[in-house]
Homo-oligomer: A and B are copies of this chain.
């Protein structure tokens, strides 16, 4: 119990990494979950390199519409320049540094700094600045831009200083899944935030294992059968081999039925050498004939999404990276995003999508739409906060992962590899 209080003493990160690598089957040490120095490294070497899913394109359908994505000290303006183009700029005036956009979202033909009225065009170039010295060069004072990519209607940004990692090589395999789901033509139905007093890695580690589902998520377990949750509860590679085999007959039967309907099935796993552990997979919700991930198995929305002509009762799980996921039924999808705030805080945002022609109150009831994941993520918030509180103890010793936490072992390996790549 060397640390009866938290002191941000200097940390031997190399030593911590080495120790962590020598115990691949155990959780990380406390410093990884609590030290600001490690958090700073996490942001520099991991978060900044990832393509982070910031929102759905339906949030800014018209020219000049924008919204802000806030991460640590950075505020990014995501802006539609034209029908074909979405830009991302740092929300910092090139004059004396004021924030330019103050509202979370809005629409304008140009961006006007509220301090001294410097204005910027939708391409980020400086439009006007009053009474500047004669040698002032407008062309040198465009907004700082950041990498942006729209993939099936999902807007990703990348905060890399230089060239960003290649998007397509990481996500091409997810394209057919997103295509079938019609994410590009979806619309946002509901958006909810859940501030979480826990390190981002505790939030990730919670999401990539279903060992906790049985004790912590009774509602979720009333929807999904125990044998599936044991085998694939947190996606491909999350459960014990034995359970996968045991469940394989039921899975195969469902896959054949879905394929007969012309639907895509299958699993993609980018593996541990991928940029962000990308995965895609389709599974049946259950074998009780449920159509959607609702508390009674009935559809959440009367309009099917994308290419689906009829319900196959399946769910498509997409993992873009440890910060961005999507879970899609035939009639709705939910995007999950964790935004690290500091060593002890992570913001969780969930966005529910439905078909663009679905009408609220007619085709779907928002309260029913969100129910399963709203309940589940609130339970996750509680347990990750308890986890954070516990790992602060000087007596915390990383314990062994269970067979249902196989994906945590993958994540840990990937995480340590990324962290080492910086030095």
Residues of A within 8 A of B (CB): 1-7, 25, 27, 30, 36-37, 39-40, 43-44, 47-48, 71-75, 90-100, 102, 112, 114-117, 129-133, 136, 141, 144, 159, 161, 205, 211-212, 214-216, 230, 240, 342, 383, 386-387, 389-400, 402-404
What's the least CB distance linking A86 to chain B, in Å? 19
Q: Which residue of B lies closest to A391 (CB)?
A: B97
Further pairs besides A93-B399, A131-B403: 5, Cβ < 8 Å: A3-B73, A4-B48, A114-B216, A116-B212, A144-B395
Given contacts A98-B387, A390-B97, contact A395 B4 (CB under 8 A): no
C-alpha spacing A8/B71, complex, angstroms: 18
The CA-CA distance from A206 to B395 in the complex, in Å, is: 33
Residues on the B chain within 8 Å of A136, using CB: 400
Copies of the chain in the assembly: 3
Q: How far is the CA of A91 from the CA of B402 in the complex (A)?
A: 21
Report the Cα distance A296→B32, complex, angstroms: 59
Do A392 and B73 touch across chains, with their CB atoms under 8 A apart? yes
- A117→B215 CA distance, assembly (Å): 6
A390 and B93 contacting across the interface, CB-CB below 8 Å: yes
Q: Which residue of B lies closest to A70 (CB)?
A: B389
Complex CA distance for A130 and B389, rounded to whole angstroms? 23
User: Of A47, A99, A159, A397, which is in contact with the most chain B CB atoms at under 10 Å from its CB?
Assistant: A99
Chain B contacts of A92 at CB under 8 A?
390-391, 393, 395-396
Q: Which residue of B lies closest to A29 (CB)?
A: B97
- The answer to whether B215 touches A115, judged by C-beta atoms less than 8 angstroms apart, is yes
- Does B130 contact A386, Cβ atoms closer than 8 Å? no
Give the shortest distance, in Å, between A13 (CB) and chain B (any CB).
14
Q: What chain B residues lie within 8 Å of A73 (beta carbons)? A: 3-6, 392-394
Inter-chain contact B6/A96, CB cutoff 8 Å: no
| Chain B neighbourhood of A36, CB < 8 A | 5, 7
Are B74 and A211 interface neighbours, CB within 8 A? no
Return 6 A-B CB contacts under 8 Å, by A number.
A4-B44, A4-B48, A98-B383, A114-B383, A116-B211, A132-B403
In the bound assembly, the distance between CA atoms of A75 and B395 in angstroms comes to: 10
Q: Are A386 and B99 in contact (CB under 8 A)?
A: yes
Chain B, residue nearest A134 (CB): B403
